[in-house]
Structure 1
């Protein structure tokens, strides 16, 4: 019989979240079950709860930056045992046989039903929709469950399951490393982790921010240089000098100002999700053979690689740890960008 557990969710868009009962599936032979210890709060959780992109289904339990400890495993599970640390990010299933899946790109699954996400996508086992990590337990197929290195601070590691892989994947794909200059646009949940990872990869890191108060904080986080993007003279100094720009901004912004900073064959990679289209001037990409690209999280193998990389370089998110009864307040503050730099819920506080 499915197990009834406590979770925090909502029954309609923009309604405050509240404690509710949900069901987790019976353990399948290839399943890992774990107690949720910590779950990060991502901006996309807020978008889904508000139905900003359309298609949200209710009732909804958000949460896709999930870290916990294994409490049970199915009979066929080989790589986890009870007591191990485990984690789940955005992806909990995919078709497994399409070209994307065969190349460890499950985030781009083209099979029937596409990628199954950790919440708010059709649940193949229980019917209805998947429920996320704002909950006491989680059950996931072994193939999509991640190992958390013991050396990482568990609460601060939770945001790596989305924010970390979202910036690690494009930094790796576009070749960040020694001899490359990487620009980071925006210092928030994604941007502050991108600074740490890009620096650990050996790149020269330049941060662009609209907030004067964050210029010094960018250097504390590891940036070699920080630019106030509202100052034309500071921006001009970096014209045609940046090899890779990771654009983390989810609001409408003037992207051409950053395209003009790219060196020959440079790429601007959008990982933020502005609700409105961005206008790109043709000359800003034609000149210098520049590229305007996008990236979306990463596959399971790459996410595990990212966790191991972060453990090796002692990288975690800067977090504000909250209790379960503070989630609505955290969502309100997140909407105002009032967090440095990621809320994480201590799920032991969900009675």
Structure 2
């Protein structure tokens, strides 16, 4: 039996449940959960913001733990291995996307907490190909958020060949943005943080930003015209996107990983005249996750976390809903 924390209705409080996962599939592994990061996507699932949640809902998709069981087809992992798992739990492995190495774009990909029970539990099961062994240099306590928040902002650097000589801006210095600053600084870019919170300016610099721009100051944004090769938006709210497109250099790209619910408003000639682009990416493949983990180990990159107990899950969600974390919450397993 697996014990987990489940909400039985949208915006509900969490209750302890037990469920039988059945026999272990031949290509699955079972993981004893040591900790699981709390992501804003978990809050969106709890509130059924995307219309895909099923109740009882067990969220949680930034899992770190120890392999306790492997299916008969699994050869690259063994009991005792320390692994991490993120948003995806399974892909078909045979479609064009999977065969090209883009498992995260598999049309039949399954999510760890959508249509099944997720990581706020004492154990979780996933397809072995979606579990990545942790480098010894990484702190297991803080590694969980790398498997969603981290790969979300790392994957675009790989997909769009961001260069060390590029000037890059990051919009929103929160759970995603503070990791993006660290990646880009270690990548070698000139990094600018766009933030509406003046108190975060010093923190942004500590994460690697060379410059900080007040995103509420229209004159300050206007002064950035034509500067950036790449702007990464991590916010989930609509902004005056035209100003950010104006800040792009010719052939520049505005890339979003924030789940903005409203359409982007941009004039066609803004794109045409400077050959500019708008794009988005869905997390990353297992291979890209491995690259990210190695990069973090090499450069000492880690999310800034607050640690709470899994039994404090309601208080943790309340804290996240109020926008208080600096910058990610990790819930440690305290099942008895």
State if a TM-score over 0.5 links the two structures: yes
Map 1:115-194 to 2 at 5 A: 115-120=109-114, 129-194=115-180
Between the aligned partners of 1:34 and 1:350, the Cα distance in structure 2 is: 15
Q: Does 1:208 align with 2:208?
A: no
Q: What is the TM-score of this pair, normalised by structure 2?
A: 0.96
CA contact (8 A) 1:176 1:198 kept: no
Match of 2:86 in 1: 89
Report deviation, 1:258: 1.0
Q: Does 1:19 align with 2:19?
A: no
Match of 1:8 in 2: 5
Report deviation, 1:175: 2.0
Between the aligned partners of 2:66 and 2:87, the Cα distance in structure 1 is: 18
CA contact (8 A) 1:91 1:115 kept: yes
CA contact (8 A) 1:70 1:86 kept: yes
Match of 1:350 in 2: 335
Between the aligned partners of 1:195 and 1:201, the Cα distance in structure 2 is: 10
Match of 1:268 in 2: 254
Match of 1:123 in 2: none
**CA distance 1:22–1:255, shift in 2 (3 Å):** farther
User: Alignment partner of 1:24: what SS?
Assistant: coil
Report deviation, 1:186: 0.2
Report deviation, 1:350: 2.7
1:65-102 per-position Cα deviation (integer Å, ceiling 9, x unaligned): 11101122233322222211011111111122211111
Q: Does 1:29 align with 2:19?
A: no
CA contact (8 A) 1:37 1:69 kept: yes
Q: What is the TM-score of this pair, normalised by structure 1?
A: 0.92
1:226-266 per-position Cα deviation (integer Å, ceiling 9, x unaligned): 11111223222321110011100011222222111100000
CA contact (8 A) 1:176 1:202 kept: no
Point out the more displaced range, 74-83 or 290-299. 74-83
Map 1:26-65 to 2 at 5 A: 26-65=23-62
Report deviation, 1:144: 1.8
Map 1:316-335 to 2 at 5 A: 316-335=302-321
CA contact (8 A) 1:196 1:221 kept: yes
CA contact (8 A) 1:65 1:161 kept: yes
Match of 1:125 in 2: none
Q: Does 1:288 align with 2:274?
A: yes
Point out the more displaced range, 324-333 or 80-89. 324-333
Show structure 1 runs of 5+ residues with no match: 121-128
- Count of aligned pairs between the two proteins: 336
Point out the more displaced range, 233-242 or 157-166. 233-242
User: Alignment partner of 1:278: what SS?
Assistant: coil
CA contact (8 A) 1:85 1:150 kept: no
Q: Which runs of 4+ in 1 moved over 4 A?
A: none
CA contact (8 A) 2:241 2:266 kept: yes
Q: Does 1:197 align with 2:191?
A: no
1:316-341 per-position Cα deviation (integer Å, ceiling 9, x unaligned): 10000111122222212212221111
Q: Does 1:107 align with 2:101?
A: no
Between the aligned partners of 1:327 and 1:25, the Cα distance in structure 2 is: 26
User: Alignment partner of 2:197: what SS?
Assistant: coil
User: Alignment partner of 1:78: what SS?
Assistant: coil
Report deviation, 1:287: 2.8
Between the aligned partners of 1:211 and 1:314, the Cα distance in structure 2 is: 26
CA contact (8 A) 2:222 2:243 kept: no
